[in-house]
Amino acid sequence: MDVELNVTLLTLGGFAELHKYRYLYFVVIFTLYILILCFNSTIVCLIWTCKNLHEPMYIFIAALLINSVLYSMIIYPKLLSDVLSEKQIISYTLCLFQGFLYYTSAGSEFLLLAAMAYDRYVSICKPLQYPVIMNRITIYVSLVLAWLIPAFETAVSVVLYSEVKLCSFTLTGIFCNNSGYKLQCVTSVAISVYGVVMLINIALLPLLFILFTYIRIVRVSYQSCREVRKKAVKTCLPHLLVLINFSCFIVFDVIIVRLESDLSKTLRLILTFQSILFHPLLNPIIYGLKMNEIFKNLKILFCHVK
């Protein structure tokens, strides 16, 4: 029975000096979690309730922020539980499930950003056709595909991982991500190849599409009047900031497995905390401050509260 438990239970070994800073970790993580939920939920509710924000651009922003909330709910509750626990363990099945939700959320982020980039492209480059192209059907199909495609591709990866034999039972991180790749007895060629295919499909291709649309937007804006250029900067800059922030997060997540032996536990923990903090917390701040209509409605909301 003990041997069977050892096979199915994994230890999360990414915490540094947990016995000494247990309560500090808890307070910091809990505070960040509450801030993430409050910031994202406030703007989502604002978009939902304000009729002047019922436009494709703001609907996609709301979807992106909902995705940030789901992403946080995947990671933070388990982190809080682990910080207060004597042993930081998780079953292999639950670890696969957390990884499935985590990478589905990450893939959805790229596809939502791609949909937002296309929305800005049509708005600036084809303004007369915008109401026809960006209709309700286009929006709903984009939202559904943004979550279904990553979910399907990640599910295939989870099935492949469920079949591998494990020789190590200690993850170097504080939650289940691609560090599970190092637990295999023998490196699976199928998992390696499919991982690359998956990265291309739900990260690289959307990223290239986003870059293409923004190059087109820059070209059209440069050839147009000052008002068009001003509109392009106001609406596209927040999206680019979010894209850069999220791309850095994904790059870190991908390469951390390759560099894990060269990084100290403390440094790896700090980098991990930064990645799980900046991504869901900066999104609502960027959109709240940089999108004029959202900022105006936020000021009205806070004035009413006072």
What CATH number does the domain containing 175 carry? 1.20.1070.10
| pLDDT in the model for residue 277 | 75
d(C-alpha 220, C-alpha 34), whole Å: 42
Predicted confidence (pLDDT) at residue 275 exceeds the cutoff of 50: yes
Higher pLDDT, 145 or 246: 145
Query: Does any domain span residue 296?
Result: no
Query: Does any domain span residue 261?
Result: yes
* Of 153, 122, 113, 124, residue with least CA distance to 242: 113
Query: Does any domain span residue 225?
Result: yes
Q: In the block, which residue shows the tokens 């060629």?
A: 189
What pLDDT, in 10s, does the model give residues 162-203? 888 888 788 877 888 777 777 788 778 888 888 888 888 888
| Mean pLDDT, residues 135-142 taken together | 92
Query: Does any domain span residue 1?
Result: no
How many domains would you assign to the chain? 1
Query: Does any domain span residue 303?
Result: no
**C-alpha dihedral, 61 to 210 to 105 to 264, nearest 10°:** -120
| Mean pLDDT, residues 148-173 taken together | 87
Predicted confidence (pLDDT) at residue 268 exceeds the cutoff of 50: yes
| Helix extents (H) in 50-91 | 56-84
Strand order across the 170-171 sheet: 89-91, 9-12, 170-171
* Of 51, 56, 211, residue with least CA distance to 130: 56
| Mean pLDDT, residues 84-96 taken together | 86
Q: How many other CB atoms are there within 10 angstroms of residue 170's CB atom?
A: 14
Predicted confidence (pLDDT) at residue 264 exceeds the cutoff of 80: no
d(C-alpha 204, C-alpha 210), whole Å: 10
| Mean pLDDT, residues 216-245 taken together | 76
Query: Does any domain span residue 295?
Result: no
Mean pLDDT of the chain: 82
Q: How many other CB atoms are there within 10 angstroms of residue 158's CB atom?
A: 15
d(C-alpha 185, C-alpha 187), whole Å: 7
Predicted confidence (pLDDT) at residue 271 exceeds the cutoff of 50: yes
| Mean pLDDT, residues 124-147 taken together | 90
| pLDDT in the model for residue 125 | 84
Query: Does any domain span residue 18?
Result: yes
Phi, psi of 163 (to 5 degrees): -95, -10
The boundaries of the domain holding residue 222 are: 10-289
- Polymer length in residues for the chain: 306
Query: Does any domain span residue 240?
Result: yes
> pLDDT band at 258, cuts 50/70/90?
low
What pLDDT, in 10s, does the model give residues 18-66? 777 788 888 988 998 999 999 999 889 888 888 888 888 889 989 999 9
